Amino acid sequence: MNNRTEILAQTEQHVKAQLSDEGSGHDWWHVYRVRQNARMLCAQETVDTFVVELAALLHDIGDHKFHDGDTSVGPRLAREWLASLQVDEAIIAHVCHIITDLSFKGSGVPTPMASREGMIVQDADRLDALGAVGIARTFAYGGHKGRLLYDPDIPPAVHDSFAAYQKSTAPSLNHFYEKLLLLKDRLNTAAARRLAEKRHAFMEQFLEQFLAEWDGNR
């Protein structure tokens, strides 16, 4: 199949069918927002938008968090799907490389992207982890995993390896300090960094209010 518009349409339907009932914040609507973010960022870059959209659509098709930490599942499922549509091998390889490298892997673990397309998809995904939606997704995932909201006796950790990050069972609030508040300064594109400023500030305000209410002061 050589029609890029049709490939994107079929991929959208495929991902929607796979993720529509997902309840941890990694559902179809997360993918939808990441794709929208990516499209917006593409408008300010010279990149292969087909690669960007495919990677955005398929980036969570086999998230390691739901496959016992196996990071090979997502790229494998993406490759199988794209091969079934007879997408060119070079494009499949590029998309799978982006999916492999995309995820945050710990505050002490660098996650550089090898292509400008990858940088855009990573930024698009990280923008959806910030702001009001990011807050909602954090607690949705925490509830999905049965985690505490907060425990002042469990401090945030610096994860110097992906393995340590994967093993964490810390309360949901720790996730802000272990990942979300770090993302603003780890974005690749100027446009994403501008958008992140407001979302980052909103999370800081939320945390201030949350901690005040925790102690019954407000």
Buried b (16+ CB within 10 A) or exposed e, 109-118: eeeebebbbb
Task: Specify the pLDDT at position 141.
Answer: 95
CATH 1.10.3210.50 fits 4-214, yes or no: yes
pLDDT bracket for residue 67 (50, 70, 90): low
Q: Which is more confident, 72 or 171?
A: 171
- The span from the CA of 56 to the CA of 59, in Å, is 5
Q: Token digits for 131?
A: 């702001």
Q: Residue 88's Cα: distance from chain center in Å?
A: 25
Residue 162: per-residue pLDDT? 87
What pLDDT score does 58 carry?
97
